[in-house]
Chain A
């Protein structure tokens, strides 16, 4: 069952890493589709 638990942990780690990674790379919707004249925050 260790493999299953490690895999589920890996799912969580990959998801968090993907979220941070895509934000860092400028792929958030905010970065990708808004302009300087659009206020989102």
Chain B
């Protein structure tokens, strides 16, 4: 008899165990893969997250309660207003507090209502990881290539005998615009790299206290000198765009790589050769892009540029062509800033690498090149060798009362 009672009690206990597991799911009306957890995350979700795989978070980002469906205050749980504590914190976590009623914050600005945004960690890891690492490698690699080129090729000399007379290559306003752009660019590059690598490379060397003034000064310079850069960019574009339209001579220049790798080769070129045109258009395109992202950063949350861009790219089906998911068309204010910062830095690295080459060829890399932007006067032999067609045009125009001066 006692054995029968024992068996019966075991059966009752087993039934109670099964019921204790299934009741929450039944109570919450959840079916499908989350039935066993009552709608909460599953072991599969946890394992996916641990393996850095994406999970569909809608099961919790959507579960933020409903004030509209709230029970009467006198009813059971009515005082919660249709939103349980866990649901309130989910709304907090996913930036959806405004859906639960009027949201009021003390601070101003569109970002003030966002308290948690997990894309911030992805941005920080990318900024301090691949962005800084590969950007640094790019700059060091370009410097190494230029050094190697100098060692192998040497300085590009004027092949013929110097004429001893000079010709006006760039007038005062052109040189002013160039140096306005160049001077501001160098300051922006130095301060930008200081701010990017400060925490990673400079603070470990000199300490927080010594770095702080650099960071403050660097931020001031970067924010305010940017206006000089933008003015210089506009001036240079207006002054030189007509001279930088590609023509058939550029193909000849490109065919022999501008004679950079062989002595005595001087392909014909007008005011700007194909290499200079590449630099010019590079400066214009990268300059406009870095200015746009810079303005977006300079006026936080006021000039979002990524969500509208993603919307247009999706409309044209570009992500699909590249085998990607559609790009997000709704971004948190912080995400806009993070994407702007990443874009700004990528463009900056490419821009600086390109300008390294420009500075090299305009200074130590080529004899007589600096004079064009220094005094504005170049030796006539230099002009004949590097810009033969332009030299002919200018000397034809100025044959009567020519602007030729003896070299000083």
Give chain A's interface residues, CB within 8 Å of chain B: 1-4, 6-8, 10-11, 14-16, 18-19, 27, 29, 32-35, 37-38
Contacts and interface: CB of A to CB of B under 8 A. Distances in A.
Contact of B300 (A15, A16, A33, A35): A33
Given A10-B180, A14-B231, A15-B228, 13 more contacts: A3-B172, A7-B175, A11-B184, A15-B221, A15-B224, A15-B225, A18-B223, A18-B227, A19-B220, A19-B224, A33-B300, A34-B108, A37-B106
B129 interface: no
Interface string B215-233: 0000011011111100110
B299 interface: yes
A7 B176 contact: yes
Interface in B352-382: 373-376
A8 B300 contact: no
Contacts of B226: 18
Given A7-B179, A8-B183, A34 B221 contact: no
Given A33-B108, A38-B107, A3 B224 contact: no
Main secondary structure of the interface of B (DSSP, over half): helix
Contacts of B176: 3, 6-7, 10
Main secondary structure of the interface of A (DSSP, over half): helix
5 contacts: A4-B175, A8-B183, A14-B227, A14-B228, A32-B299
B109 interface: yes
Nearest to B181: A7
A38 to B, nearest CB: 6
A34 B107 contact: yes
